[in-house]
């Protein structure tokens, strides 16, 4: 079957914001004299944006309340500095450009709030290229529920089996596959040691990968 669309996750897939967000919170924790090991944060990666309450975690570790406004100010400063230096993940720009050139529809399906995704895409000059941006702000549950991917396919005017999902997390891959999309996983720095659902294709990078090569992965998977 010919694929007609590509649906991208945002955080960790288009831009490695997952690493940035973790680095910011780790910096805040270190400001208070304690560490935030990845093992304590990893369950937040790819999950709903409210899956973890870092403030509550910080207060619990310290055994006392913290000045939330001061913490938020410090976190936002770190986030702004780090995001300004963060490039698109390898191969993303080329794949988006090729997909648009060849007439494929493209969308984002993200667990993050819409303003975060739209602002991020805008900062890289990409937002106008996407035919749809789907987030839980649309009133659907977050991944690993398949609703975001089903909504993306609906808005693009394709069936789920006509679309390829690009993901970086187990939650996202599970959501895409449950919705019926073929999923290519490109682990980010934080998810490279995670296990992903059977049936998805796990690649080290999208650098140099074409739409045809993505489609070939999907066709091979559906035959097996």
Sequence spans of domains, the chain: 5-16+88-223, 17-83
d(C-alpha 72, C-alpha 87), whole Å: 24
User: pLDDT digit string (tens) for 12-70?
Assistant: 999 999 999 999 999 999 999 999 998 888 877 766 667 778 888 899 999 999 999 99
What is the pTM assigned to this prediction? 0.92
Asked whether the predicted pLDDT for residue 1 surpasses 60, the reply is no
pLDDT tens-place string over residues 138-178: 999 999 999 999 999 999 999 999 999 999 999 999 999 99
> At residue 224, does pLDDT exceed 60?
no
CATH 3.40.640.10 fits 5-16+88-223, yes or no: no
**Catalytic residues, which ones?**
9, 11
């Amino acid at each position: 079957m010919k694929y007609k669309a590509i649906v991208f996750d945002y955080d960790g897939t288009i831009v490695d914001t997952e690493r940035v967000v973790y680095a910011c919170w780790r910096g805040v924790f270190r400001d208070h004299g304690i560490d935030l090991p990845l093992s304590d944060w990893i369950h937040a990666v790819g999950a709903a944006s409210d899956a973890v309450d870092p403030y509550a975690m910080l207060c619990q570790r310290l055994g006392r309340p913290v000045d939330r406004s001061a913490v938020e100010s410090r976190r936002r400063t770190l986030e702004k500095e780090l995001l300004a230096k963060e490039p698109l993940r390898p191969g993303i720009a080329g794949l988006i450009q090729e997909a648009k050139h060849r007439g494929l529809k493209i969308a984002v399906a993200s667990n993050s709030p819409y303003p975060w995704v739209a602002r991020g895409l805008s900062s890289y000059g990409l937002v106008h290229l996407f035919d749809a941006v789907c987030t839980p702000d649309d009133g659907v549950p977050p991944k690993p529920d398949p609703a975001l991917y089903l909504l993306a396919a609906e808005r693009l005017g394709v069936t789920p089996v006509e679309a390829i999902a690009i993901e970086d997390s187990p939650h996202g891959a599970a959501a895409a596959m449950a919705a019926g999309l073929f999923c290519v996983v490109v682990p980010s720095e934080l998810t490279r040691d995670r296990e992903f659902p059977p049936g998805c294709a796990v690649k080290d990078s999208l650098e140099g990968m074409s739409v045809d090569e993505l489609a070939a992965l999907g066709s091979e998977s559906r035959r097996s």
